[in-house]
Amino acid sequence: MSTPPDQRPSGAPPALAGPTRRGALARLGLGAAGGALALGLDPRGGWFSRVFAADLTEAELFAKKDGLVTLNDRPLNGETPPWLMDEAFTRTSRHFVRNNGKVPARALSGDATGWTLTIDGEVKTPLTLDLAALKRYPKVEQAIVIECGGNGRVSFKPGAKGNQWTIGGVGCAVWGGARLKDVLADAGVTAKAVYLAYYGEDTHLSGDPKKVVISRGVPIAKALDDVIIAYEMNGAPLPALHGFPARLVVPGWPASTSGKWLKRLWVRDQVHDGPKMEAPSYRVPAHPVAPGETVALEDMRIIERMPVKSVISAPRSGTQITAGRAVEVRGHAWSGERAIEAVHVTTDFGATWTACDLKPARNPGAWQRWTAQITVPQQGHYEVWARATDSAGEMQPMVVPGWNPKGYLNNAMHRIALKAVDA
């Protein structure tokens, strides 16, 4: 019910500010009912739907996340420590968050009344769908990895500006929604269609309503393949931080293509040129370059599929183990648009490797669980490295690969440290 402080007209009294009022109501033990009691005070009206509203600011919502590490709070960006990725699929409270602007007011309200998604451009019949209309398309539920193109950026030398992701800019939640191809079939994509662009409702940090925060997309062939317009995450309505009421989920491509808080999908007759499509955003040099080299913008190409990668989710780095006793090491592995063929681990800096047990993916686009038993010979300090290989034979590099000016696509092996003591 409260307007986030940064969206209040300047000079307006903060008397109804959420945290204070809610805090007071919570102390009275009123909880959710408190929202209803405060309705009469809500100057913005619309009170029936607001009984059910989430009514939290983006910072308050982020504070409810479980153990995420804040990389930036304006815009909000947080990553998941690897030991919190140990479950089969990433629970919402542990899924990383990457925002380029501010969470839109509609998402914070949790009220989709009045929301529509327009599909236009190179289509025979432009569509305007509300949530009920979107839900009439056959529903799919898929576990899909989304990984920020800058995941692993912290390790590039020289470094790159931007969020210093370690390994936690990735998650595999179960997304529910309509297939984009079903919606596009309804609209009838024309022969001139080249690219599918998204626009979201998020607002620019500058506060300028005319400025678009980010507007990216995918080639029409990818849009007509496996992309989902999700309105659910892990069986619940899409949360505010993750794109309420609807977002794209693009399997295997940088997560920046998975547009949140959708309002428009524009089928274009050229490669999309919205904010953050243009070089150097989400682009890498078309040919390998030396670390620190200046790369001309026209020599950069758009990142498409994400490379093969894995994470060690257990044990947590720093865990104490016992020499001579088997310890289970496990994690997940994924590769854009490909299956994982094998995962290996080493405890001797790559001299010898142990093949892991590898489970098939729940569905294409999901990460795959791997497990191994390791035993170290004597007390001391050890590292465990994990290395995934995909169905095309692409394998994770041991060191940070392919230096690039913006620090994208670091798929180096994940390493943890273990301390072994004698039995």
Ligand X SMILES: Nc1nc2c(c(=O)[nH]1)N[C@H]1C(S)=C(S)[C@@H](COP(=O)(O)O)O[C@H]1N2
Please report whether residue 94 would count as binding ligand X according to CB under 6 A: no
Counting every residue, how long is the chain? Answer: 423
Residue type, 193: A
> Does residue 281 belong to the site contacting Mo ion (CB under 5 A)?
no
Segment interacting with ligand X, rule: CB under 6 A, options 46-54, 94-102, 378-386, 397-405: 94-102
34 versus 200: smaller Cβ distance to ligand X: 200
**Helix (H), strand (E), coil (C) string for 61-102:** HHHCCCCCEEEEECCEEEECCHHHCCCCCCCHHHCCEECCCE
**Positions in 259-288 near ligand X (CB under 6 A):** 259-261
CB of 281 to Mo ion, least distance (A): 10
Secondary structure of the chain: what % helix, strand, coil (to 5)?
A: 20, 30, 50
Nearer residue to Mo ion within complex by CB, 256 or 313: 256
Please pick, from the candidates 258, 313, 335, 404, the single residue that binds ligand X as defined by CB under 6 A: 258
By the 8 A CB rule, do 376 and 370 touch?
Answer: no
CA pair distance 29, 386, nearest whole angstrom: 49
Site pattern 132..161 for Mo ion (x: CB under 5 A): ----------------x-------------
Question: Which residue's CB comes closest to Mo ion?
Answer: 148
Q: Which two tokens stand for residue 58?
A: 């983006």
For strands 139-147 and 170-179, give the pairing.
antiparallel
Considering the complex, state which of residue 260 and residue 309 has its C-beta at the smaller distance from ligand X.
260
- Least Å distance between CB 324 and ligand X? 41
Q: With CB cut-offs between 5 and 8 Å by kind, which of Mo ion, ligand X, none does residue 97 bind?
A: ligand X
SS3 233: strand
Residues 195-254 that bind ligand X (CB under 6 A): 200, 202, 213-214, 242
Nearest residue (beta carbon) to ligand X: 200
Sort strands 414-421 and 320-322 into parallel, antiparallel or unpaired.
parallel
126 C-beta neighbours (distance < 10 Å), count: 12
Binding mask 123-152 for ligand X (x = CB under 6 A): -----------------------x-x----
- Give, for 143, the enclosing helix (H) or strand (E): strand 139-147
Q: CB of residue 379 vs ligand X: minimum separation in angstroms? A: 40
256 binds ligand X (CB under 6 A): yes
Q: State yes or no: residue 256 binds Mo ion (CB under 5 A).
A: yes
Tell me the closest approach of the beta carbon of residue 287 to ligand X, in angstroms.
25
Quick one: what does residue 344 bind among Mo ion, ligand X, none, with the CB cut-off 5 to 8 Å set by partner type? none
Nearest-angstrom CA–CA distance, 158 and 167 = 18
117-121 and 262-268 beta bridge pairing: parallel
> What single DSSP character describes residue 411?
-
Q: Residue 242 Cβ, how far from ligand X at the closest point, in Å?
A: 4
99 is a contact residue toward ligand X (CB under 6 A): yes
First-last CA distance in the chain? 58
Name the site residues for ligand X (rule: CB under 6 A). 95-101, 146, 148, 200, 202, 213-214, 242, 255-256, 258-261
